[in-house]
Structure 1
Amino acid sequence: MLSLLQILYAITSVLWFIVIVHIIMSWLINFQVLNLRQQFVAQVWYGLNRLVDPVYSRIRRFLPDMGGLDLSPVIVLLVLFAIRTVIQNNMYNFY
């Protein structure tokens, strides 16, 4: 059981990193620090969008329209934080 919790914790850590990278890239693209005409930037951006958009779209259904403000990444980070905290607090019961 400990191995499963460690694998789940590692998966949530990777997802946390992906969401953080997506948030930072969106800021850099919006402030025109990164340019989507560069092939590498465009490939990374579209790859990240394909990973996180299914999760974001499910959360956006329940959130009210906030104009240009998208709170779905914050909700995803809060859920990942809660899952990681529960796993981390219960991992020591299986030693």
Structure 2
Amino acid sequence: MIEVALTRFDVARYLETLLYLYVLLIFVRVLLSWVPRLPYNRLLRAVVQFVYDVTEPYLALFRRLVPMLRLGPAGLDLSPMVATIVLIFVGNLLVAIVRG
């Protein structure tokens, strides 16, 4: 029987990977917001819905704190940028604490 022992470095590396994956999902969410209508495809719709379901709870926290920037008749949502900066800062701090 093979035993697998996780070290603090393994946990920190796993946490860091999750952090960057979540930042990537936020980036994909921003890109998807620029495309008003995607062609219907069941697989594409499932992927888009997954990205929205995973990122919306975190981004909603920052939408309440960061008002939308008005540019004439249009608006610019800065909450993904602020949320990403906070996520990277807090995530890197947490990874450093886990590494020791």
* Residue aligned with 1:61, SS: helix
**Aligned residue type for 2:22:** L
Q: CA deviation at 1:87?
A: 5.8
User: Superposition RMSD on alpha carbons, in Å?
Assistant: 2.4
**Structure having the larger proportion of residues in strand:** 2
Measure the CA separation in 1 of the matches of 2:62 and 2:24. Answer: 19
C-alpha deviation, 1:2, in angstroms: 2.1
Deviation at 1:84, TM superposition (A): 4.9
Tell me how far 1:47 sits from its aligned partner.
Answer: 1.2
| Gap runs ≥5 in structure 1 | none
Moved segments of 4+, more than 3 Å: 83-88
In structure 1, C-alpha distance between the alignment counterparts of 2:69 and 2:39, rounded to whole Å: 26
Which of 86, 89, 94 is residue 82 of structure 1 equivalent to?
89
Percent identity over the alignment?
19
TM-score, normalization: structure 1? Answer: 0.71
Cα offsets for 1:4-38 (capped at 9, x unmatched) = 221211110111111112222222x23x5xx2523
Instruction: Please state if 1:24 is matched with 2:31.
Output: yes
Q: Which runs of 5+ in 2 are unaligned?
A: 1-7
Of 27, 40, 43, the residue aligned with 1:40 is 43
Which structure shows the higher helix fraction? Answer: 1
Structure showing greater radius of gyration is 2
